[in-house]
Structure 1
């Protein structure tokens, strides 16, 4: 469903931001249907010369549209869309094939995913970085595998960049909730990514940081009758709270 006139959905903003940084200005194939038609209607994107348009609701790999001058101006004037990337997990489901959200069952991955969703409140703004398959949406189905980042067979930089453009996330402002190896892998796509766990001393610090994101902040707690209760909203603020032992504030607003 298209957003109200004058506004843009997260995917529309992400698609324009990605097209803006693409060498040929191509609009990612992830956006189609009414959302793509709305961008074209506003003059923000246009069909590529010589391209015979197919059903815009059907999945398509090849680029069909490119950003216009008006689209570039709009992308430059619009805050970069936010995206959080979490790592895959060594512990996996015993299913041979499953969606990413069902395949990865390790406690670290689940904690990172919970923290990310508590901050952004949208599955659309969350991707899993798999050492084997690269960038995954939670709904993407994958085969079971045994590989961690840095081992032979790890997804390459070029494949990640191509995936990121296809998914319309190359122009996003990215926060990585993962260890150093996964952050280094993600930097092949987003050189200016934010890594709030860079100053952590170990996994314990990571998990403590995640807990600060999905638990109520100290200022939102009060003690009543011997019980500690929350006194205000704690989720979907789009701001990551700082945690002790982490050198960076983690803000992604």
Structure 2
């Protein structure tokens, strides 16, 4: 029995003192090696096309420079791991690791911190210039520096909170509707099933969109330090 509404997101599968829920984060890796051994199927071809499209888009966002060759694959890998975990969380009895701030901050914070360290060490003047937008009146410059600094500092938090909130919202709605099932009549149960299927389709779209948003925003943040 649930003690509160959010207890469905609590890690509960344990082996001794070790929580097994977080092992679901690695389940996506089980699907990847098959593509290297089997004759390329339509799924593998589709996945390769998606990766190529993402590579071209991230390459445009970062800006083509000699030093940036291959850096798009960092963000493609980020997109892949988030999307796999978002999708796996839609299956019954699989823990949704991306619905926890611990997981999302572990992705966002080191990435943002590495961009900041690289930018301030190698492009200090450029980073200072970013703190004051072009055309700002002199009297507003101290306020703009404070605002821009705060907006820069909270970036990893906003990335993590956005992904966490979107994952939690859909799962909570599915849980709430599912818990009403035993008390409904046969005709209403049919309507409930149709609603749940529609919500699952919506959550599948959210799983892709949120992983794409996370990767694109990370790419944009990296392009600002060059």
TM-score, normalising length: structure 1: 0.23
Which structure has more RCO (C-alpha within 8 Å, separation ≥ 6)? 2
Structure with the higher fraction of residues in helix conformation: 2
Question: Which structure has greater strand proportion?
Answer: 1
Which is greater in Rg?
2
